[in-house]
Structure 1
Amino acid sequence: MKIASFNVNSINARLPRILEWFDSAKPDVAVLQEIKCVDEKFPALEFEDRGYNVEVHGQKTYNGVALLSKYPIDDVMRGLPEGDGDDQSRYIEALVMPDDAEPVRVGGLYLPNGNPAPGPKYDYKMSWMKRLKKHARNLLENEEAFVLAGDYNVIPQPEDAHDPKAWVGDALFLPETRAAFRELLNLGLTDAIRQANPTAPCFTFWDYQRGAWEKDNGIRIDHLLLSPQAADRFKDAGVDRKERGKEKPSDHVPVWVELS
Structure 2
Amino acid sequence: MKLKICSFNVNSIRARKDLILRWLQEKEKDIDILCLQEVKVQEELFPYEDFEKLGYKAVVYSQKAYNGVAVLLRVDINRIIRGIGDNYFDQQRRVLSVRSGDLWIINVYAPHGDLRGEDKYYYKLDWYNRFFQFIKSNFSPDEKIVMVGDFNVALEDIDVWDPELLKDSIGTMPEEREVFKKILDWGFTDCFRYLYPDKKQFTWWDYIGGAVWRDEGMRIDYILATKPAVEHLRDVYVDIWTRKRRKPTPSDHSPVIGLFEDII
Given the two structures, how large is their TM-score scaled by the length of structure 2?
A: 0.92
Post-superposition CA distance 1:158-216 (Å, at most 9, x none): 11011122322323110000111221121121101112221111100000002211211
Report the equivalent of 2:73: 69
Rounded to whole Å, the distance in 2 between the matches of 1:66 and 1:60 is 14
Rounded to whole Å, the distance in 2 between the matches of 1:212 and 1:152 is 20
Report the equivalent of 1:251: 252
Report the equivalent of 2:32: 28
Match runs of 1:197-208 below 5 Å: 197-208=196-207
Rounded to whole Å, the distance in 2 between the matches of 1:81 and 1:127 is 14
Instruction: Indicate the SS of the match to 2:78.
Output: strand
Structure-2 change in CA distance of 1:119 and 1:86 (3 Å): farther
Report the equivalent of 1:118: 117
Letter in 1 for 2:254: V
Letter in 2 for 1:32: L
Structure-2 change in CA distance of 1:62 and 1:22 (3 Å): same
Conservation of the 8 A alpha-carbon contact between 2:222 and 2:256: yes
Would you say 1:151 and 2:150 are equivalent positions? yes
Deviates more, 1:179-188 or 1:27-36: 179-188
> What is the aligned counterpart of 1:39 among 43, 46, 51?
43
Consecutive unaligned residues of structure 2, counting only runs of 5 or more, are none
Identity rate, percent: 36
Match runs of 1:209-220 below 5 Å: 209-220=208-219
Conservation of the 8 A alpha-carbon contact between 1:5 and 1:255: yes
Report the equivalent of 1:90: 94
Instruction: Indicate the SS of the match to 1:12.
Output: helix
> What displacement does 1:239 show?
0.8
Conservation of the 8 A alpha-carbon contact between 1:33 and 1:63: yes
Deviates more, 1:49-58 or 1:77-86: 77-86
> What displacement does 1:96 show?
1.7
Given the two structures, how large is their TM-score scaled by the length of structure 1?
A: 0.93
> What displacement does 1:229 show?
1.0
Structure-2 change in CA distance of 1:39 and 1:140 (3 Å): closer
Would you say 1:13 and 2:12 are equivalent positions? no
Q: Which structure exhibits the higher relative contact order, with contacts defined as CA atoms closer than 8 Å and separated by 6 or more residues?
A: 2
Deviates more, 1:29-38 or 1:209-218: 209-218
Conservation of the 8 A alpha-carbon contact between 1:69 and 1:96: no
Conservation of the 8 A alpha-carbon contact between 1:140 and 1:227: no
Conservation of the 8 A alpha-carbon contact between 1:155 and 1:161: yes
Instruction: Indicate the SS of the match to 1:203.
Output: coil
Q: How many residues align?
A: 255
Conservation of the 8 A alpha-carbon contact between 1:34 and 1:110: yes
Would you say 1:170 and 2:158 are equivalent positions? no
Conservation of the 8 A alpha-carbon contact between 2:84 and 2:90: no
> What displacement does 1:21 show?
2.0
Report the equivalent of 1:4: 6
Rounded to whole Å, the distance in 2 between the matches of 1:242 and 1:181 is 28
Rounded to whole Å, the distance in 1 between the matches of 2:150 and 2:89 is 22
> What displacement does 1:122 show?
1.2
Rounded to whole Å, the distance in 1 between the matches of 2:136 and 2:90 is 21
Indicate the RMSD between aligned Cα atoms, in angstroms.
1.5
Deviates more, 1:68-77 or 1:106-115: 68-77
Instruction: Indicate the SS of the match to 1:67.
Output: strand
> What displacement does 1:130 show?
1.1
Letter in 1 for 2:100: V
Rounded to whole Å, the distance in 1 between the matches of 2:8 and 2:87 is 24
Conservation of the 8 A alpha-carbon contact between 1:47 and 1:54: yes
